[in-house]
C-alpha cells in the first residue's frame, strides 16, 4: 500500500459537509501531486430504514435529472487547482459503490464527509462513511460537519499507537504525510486502567503500578519513534484513561489538524457488539481523521 496518495477519490452528495471534504481533497491532490476523481452516487432505490432527514435529502437528489447532476459535478471539478475527473455512478448502496469505484480506479485514498450519527440509529444503521471505513482496502479520510480545517493546511498530526503492527502502519502513513505537508507528529499511547465492580473490593491497578506502566510505555514509545520515524523530531505522549475518549479529548483543533489511526475493520455481529476505538473516535473527532486499514 502506498503511504503517499497518488490517486484520490472524493465522494460527494452535494451537502455542505461533503463539499468541505471535496475542497480538502483538492488541497491534498495539489500537495501530493495526485490525480483527483470526484464521485457522486446516484442511488437507485430508497432505503426504508433511513431517518427522515436523510430521506428528504435523497428525495431532493432523485428529483434532479442526471444531466443536472453531471453539471454539478463538472462545476465542482472546475473549482480546483488540479485536473479532476467527475464520475456519476448508479447504485443501491453508496458505500459499496464508493469502495468498488475506488478499487476499480486504483485509488489509494478516499475522502468523504461524515454526519457522525450516534445512539440507537447508529447501532442499527451505522453511516455510509463508517461502512466505507470498515470495508475499504484503501485509507479513508473523513471530515465531520463541525470538524475544523485550518487555512494553513495539515501540519500537526496526532497518531494513537497501541504497539500493534496495524498502528505501526498508521505511523508510516503519518510520516509520509508529514514529509509532504511539512508537518510534525505526536505519538500517543493510552494506558487503560482495569476497573472491576465494587463487589471484588480490590484496586487492581494501584497508583504505583500505574506509574510503572506509564513509565514503561513512555520508554517504549520513545523507542518506537526512533525506530519508525528515524531522525524526525517527534513528540511522544502517554495518557491514562479510556482510549477513545482520551483521543477525542486530545484531538482539539487548537492542538492538531489531523488524527491518523489504524482500524481493525470489524464487521457483522462482532462489530455491533464490540465496535472499535477507531470508529468511536471517527464519530466524535473534531478534526479530519485518516483511518488506515489493517493488511
Count CB atoms within 10 A of the CB of residue 102: 24
Residue 29, pLDDT above cutoff 80: yes
Residue 250, pLDDT above cutoff 90: yes
Quick one: pLDDT at residue 168? 92
Check: CB of residue 116 under 8 Å from CB of residue 144: yes
- Confidence category of residue 197, pLDDT binned at 50, 70, 90: low
Residue 275, pLDDT above cutoff 60: no
Residue 19, pLDDT above cutoff 50: yes
Boundaries of every domain in the chain: 1-145, 150-295
Quick one: pLDDT at residue 71? 64
Share of the chain above pLDDT 70, in %: 73
Over residues 179-203, the mean pLDDT reads: 78
Quick one: pLDDT at residue 273? 44
- Confidence category of residue 58, pLDDT binned at 50, 70, 90: low
Quick one: pLDDT at residue 157? 96
Quick one: pLDDT at residue 47? 55
Q: Do domains 1-145 and 150-295 have the same CATH topology?
A: yes
Dihedral angle at the C-alpha atoms of 162, 99, 30, 23, nearest 10 degrees? -100
* Exposure string for 3-35, b = 16+ CB within 10 A, e = fewer: bbbebbbbbbbbeebbbbbbbbbbbbbebbebb
> Is the whole model's pTM more than 0.85, yes or no?
no
Residue 72, pLDDT above cutoff 80: no
Over residues 242-260, the mean pLDDT reads: 94
Residue 60, pLDDT above cutoff 80: no
DSSP per-residue string spanning the chain: --SS-SEEEEE--SSHHHHHHHHHHHHHHHHHT-EEEEEEEEE-S--TTS-HHHHHHHHHHHHS-HHHHHHHHHHHHTTSSS-EEEEEEEES-HHHHHHHHHHHHT-SEEEEEE----HHHHHHH--HHHHHHHH-SS-EEEEETT----TT-S-EEEEE--SSHHHHHHHHHHHHHHHHHT-EEEEEEEEPPP---GGG---SS-HHHHHHHHHHHHHHHHHHHHHHHTT--EEEEEEES-HHHHHHHH--TTT-SEEEEEE----HHHHHHH--HHHHHHHH-SS-EEEEE--
pLDDT, one tens digit per residue, over 31-56 is 899 999 999 988 765 555 666 776 67
Give the span between the Cα atoms of 115 and 128, in whole angstroms: 9
According to CATH, what is the number of the domain 150-295? 3.40.50.620
**CA 262 to each of CA 162, 186, 239, 242: distance values in angstroms, whole numbers, following the listed order:** 10, 15, 18, 17
According to CATH, what is the number of the domain 1-145? 3.40.50.620
Amino acid at each position: 500500500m502506498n503511504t503517499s496518495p497518488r490517486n484520490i477519490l472524493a465522494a460527494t452528495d452535494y451537502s455542505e459537509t461533503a463539499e468541505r471534504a471535496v475542497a480538502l481533497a483538492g488541497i491534498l491532490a495539489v500537495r501530493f501531486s495526485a490525480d483527483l476523481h470526484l464521485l457522486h452516487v446516484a442511488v437507485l432505490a430508497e432505503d426504508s430504514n433511513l431517518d427522515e432527514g436523510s430521506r428528504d435529502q435523497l428525495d431532493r437528489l432523485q428529483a434532479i435529472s442526471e444531466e443536472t447532476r453531471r453539471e454539478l459535478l463538472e462545476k465542482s471539478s472546475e473549482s480546483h487547482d488540479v485536473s479532476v475527473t467527475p464520475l456519476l455512478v448508479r447504485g443501491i448502496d453508496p458505500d459499496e459503490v464508493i469502495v468498488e469505484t475506488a478499487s476499480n480506479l486504483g485509488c489509494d485514498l478516499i475522502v468523504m464527509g461524515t454526519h457522525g450519527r450516534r445512539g440507537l440509529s447508529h447501532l442499527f444503521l451505522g453511516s455510509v462513511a463508517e461502512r466505507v471505513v470498515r470495508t475499504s482496502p484503501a485509507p479513508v479520510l473523513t471530515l465531520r460537519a463541525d470538524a475544523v480545517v485550518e487555512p494553513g493546511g495539515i501540519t500537526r498530526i496526532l497518531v494513537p499507537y497501541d504497539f500493534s503492527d496495524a498502528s505501526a502502519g498508521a505511523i508510516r502513513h503519518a510520516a509520509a504525510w508529514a514529509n509532504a505537508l511539512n508537518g510534525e507528529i505526536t505519538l500517543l499511547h493510552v494506558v487503560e486502567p482495569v476497573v472491576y465492580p465494587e463487589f471484588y473490593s480490590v484496586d487492581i491497578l494501584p497508583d504505583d503500578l500505574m506509574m510503572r506502566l506509564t513509565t514503561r510505555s513512555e520508554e517504549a514509545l520513545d523507542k518506537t519513534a526512533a525506530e519508525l520515524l528515524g531522525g524526525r523530531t517527534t513528540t511522544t505522549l502517554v495518557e491514562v484513561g479510556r482510549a477513545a475518549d482520551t483521543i477525542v479529548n486530545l484531538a482539539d483543533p487548537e492542538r492538531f489538524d489531523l488524527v491518523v489511526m489504524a482500524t481493525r475493520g470489524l464487521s457483522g455481529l462482532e462489530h455491533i457488539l464490540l465496535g472499535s476505538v477507531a470508529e468511536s473516535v471517527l464519530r466524535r473527532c473534531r478534526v479530519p481523521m485518516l483511518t488506515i486499514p489493517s493488511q
